């Protein structure tokens, strides 16, 4: 039987200086204590439900809380640890949005300008703006619905493929749009493929270069990598296991893949440490101007207890606290990466399996443990602990319900 491993300690090293001279956001006067025992229990539950391993890290000011259960590698039996890198899936979308908002700060881009102004003829409707793309309100169909209608065969068909972004957009445009531009929120990976194309057109550089120069190097994110179209996760990493659609079928090791089907919508690799550092910097006002951070936080409803801004999700927890970040689903990994409004407390949690809705819902409970503490009293209209809204497979094939 695998036991949970817990570490609490102080952060060593220098404090990062602001990247931009902007005011930090004010935080709440007090916050509940971290429920470390509850966090351990969540990870144990995820393991019992089919995740080979799971781990979580909370950075809270100068204190770090770590918990891990299970294995990073089913073959060797090596225990999973927060030093392990993993694929972060759609948490990549925050990185992509930050780069574009920095370009807005640099007067190279306007949020309310048509995408076709910068990428002439790419989209069939000049009413689709950059803001619509970053907020999932473009109406562009998500090509992954067709690509992964059958989970394992769909994955194996693209595991080694290398797409151009234009090819992915064409797959989307072969299907009717889901809504008129700006009408409603409708999650689509196509949007952030277009966002990556905007980055490359406006800077003249690959998205990798822009991630590295604007975010990764300034923040010292030593585990955050964009290796597309390389298939391997460099360095120490957890292996990712894809759950087949057929009940009882063996897990598929999905660790090695190009992730070319996602690119700027979901191909980054990172670690729990780096994700917490990134979210703290973003919400602390150190990656964009205050004006552009405010644009990221112009919310549209996106499901029960959720809202979406520009590449950033808000989740309203059962204790009345709201947290900010993104979920990530990529073959073999589920990630939750969220922080407090001021960025002073951040959680990253990952399970090394996917296509398992039970595990996905269980990992959602790490947010309560991290931000609500031991006592969770539901407010009017909120959902009490243990009865969280059912998560959907929104990052990969969002229109498909599998559980």
Q: What is the pLDDT of residue 1?
A: 40
Residue 5 has pLDDT above 50, yes or no: yes
Name the residue among 161, 153, 58 with its Cα closest to residue 397.
Answer: 153
Catalytic, 90? Answer yes
What average pLDDT does the structure give for the chain?
90
Which neighbouring-strand residues pair with 54?
A: 69, 351
Percent of the chain's residues with pLDDT above 90: 84
pLDDT per position as a tens digit, 190-219: 999 999 999 999 999 999 999 999 999 999
Q: What is the pLDDT of residue 396?
A: 83
Residue 344 has pLDDT above 90, yes or no: yes
pLDDT per position as a tens digit, 346-391: 999 999 999 999 999 999 999 999 999 985 544 444 444 444 455 5
Q: What is the pLDDT of residue 385?
A: 42
Name the residue among 195, 329, 348, 320 with its Cα closest to residue 254.
Answer: 329
Residue 88 has pLDDT above 90, yes or no: yes
Q: What is the pLDDT of residue 310?
A: 98
Q: What is the pLDDT of residue 299?
A: 97
pLDDT per position as a tens digit, 203-259: 999 999 999 999 999 999 999 999 999 999 999 999 999 999 999 999 999 999 999
pLDDT per position as a tens digit, 109-157: 999 999 999 999 999 999 999 999 999 999 999 999 999 999 999 999 9
Residue of 54, 90, 172, 260 marked catalytic? 90
Residues 370, 70: Cα–Cα separation, whole Å: 20
Q: Is the link from the previous residue into 119 a cis peptide, with omega within 30 of 0?
A: no
Residues 186, 190: Cα–Cα separation, whole Å: 11
Q: Is 335 helix (H, G, I), strand (E, B) or coil?
A: strand
Supply the pTM of this predicted model: 0.91
pLDDT per position as a tens digit, 27-48: 344 789 999 999 999 999 999 9
DSSP letters for 218-278: HHT-TT-B--TT--S--SSB---EEPPSSTTPPPEE--S---TTTGGGT--EE-HHHHHHH
Residues 52, 305: Cα–Cα separation, whole Å: 29
């Amino acid at each position: 039987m695998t036991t949970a491993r817990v570490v609490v300690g102080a952060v060593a090293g220098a404090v990062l200086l602001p990247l931009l001279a902007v005011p930090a956001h004010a935080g709440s006067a007090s916050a509940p204590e971290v429920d470390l025992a509850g966090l351990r229990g969540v990870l144990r539950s995820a393991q019992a439900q089919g995740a080979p391993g799971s781990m979580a890290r909370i950075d809270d000011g100068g204190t770090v809380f770590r918990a891990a259960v299970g294995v990073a590698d089913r073959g060797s039996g090596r225990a999973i640890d927060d030093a392990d890198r993993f694929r972060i899936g759609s948490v990549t979308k925050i990185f992509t949005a930050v780069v574009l908002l920095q370009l807005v700060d640099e007067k190279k881009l306007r949020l309310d300008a048509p995408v076709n102004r910068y990428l002439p003829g790419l989209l069939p409707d000049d009413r689709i703006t950059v803001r619509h793309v970053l907020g999932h309100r473009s109406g562009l169909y998500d090509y992954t619905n067709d690509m992964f209608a059958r989970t394992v065969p769909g994955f194996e068909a693209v595991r080694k493929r290398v797409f151009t972004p234009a090819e992915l957009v064409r797959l989307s445009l072969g299907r009717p749009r889901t809504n008129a531009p700006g009408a409603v929120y409708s999650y689509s990976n196509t949007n952030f493929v277009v966002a990556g194309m905007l980055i490359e057109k406006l800077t003249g550089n690959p998205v990798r270069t822009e991630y590295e120069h604007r975010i990764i190097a300034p923040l010292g994110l030593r585990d955050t990598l964009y290796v597309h179209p390389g298939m391997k996760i460099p360095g120490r990493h957890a292996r990712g296991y894809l759950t087949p659609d057929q009940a009882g079928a063996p897990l598929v090791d999905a660790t090695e893949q190009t992730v070319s089907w996602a690119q700027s919508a979901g191909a980054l690799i990172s670690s729990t440490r780096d994700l917490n550092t990134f979210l703290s910097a973003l919400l602390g006002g150190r990656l964009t101007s205050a004006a552009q951070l405010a644009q990221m936080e112009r919310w549209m409803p996106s499901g029960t207890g959720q809202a979406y801004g520009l590449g950033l999700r808000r989740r309203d927890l059962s204790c009345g606290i709201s947290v900010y970040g993104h979920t990530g689903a990529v073959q073999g990994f589920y990630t939750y990466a969220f922080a407090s409004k001021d960025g002073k407390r951040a959680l990253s949690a990952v399970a090394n399996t996917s296509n398992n809705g039970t595990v996905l819902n269980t990992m959602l409970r790490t947010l309560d443990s991290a931000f609500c503490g031991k006592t969770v009293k539901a407010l009017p209209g909120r959902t009490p602990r243990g009865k969280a809204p059912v998560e959907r497979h929104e990052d990969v094939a969002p229109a498909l319900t599998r559980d």
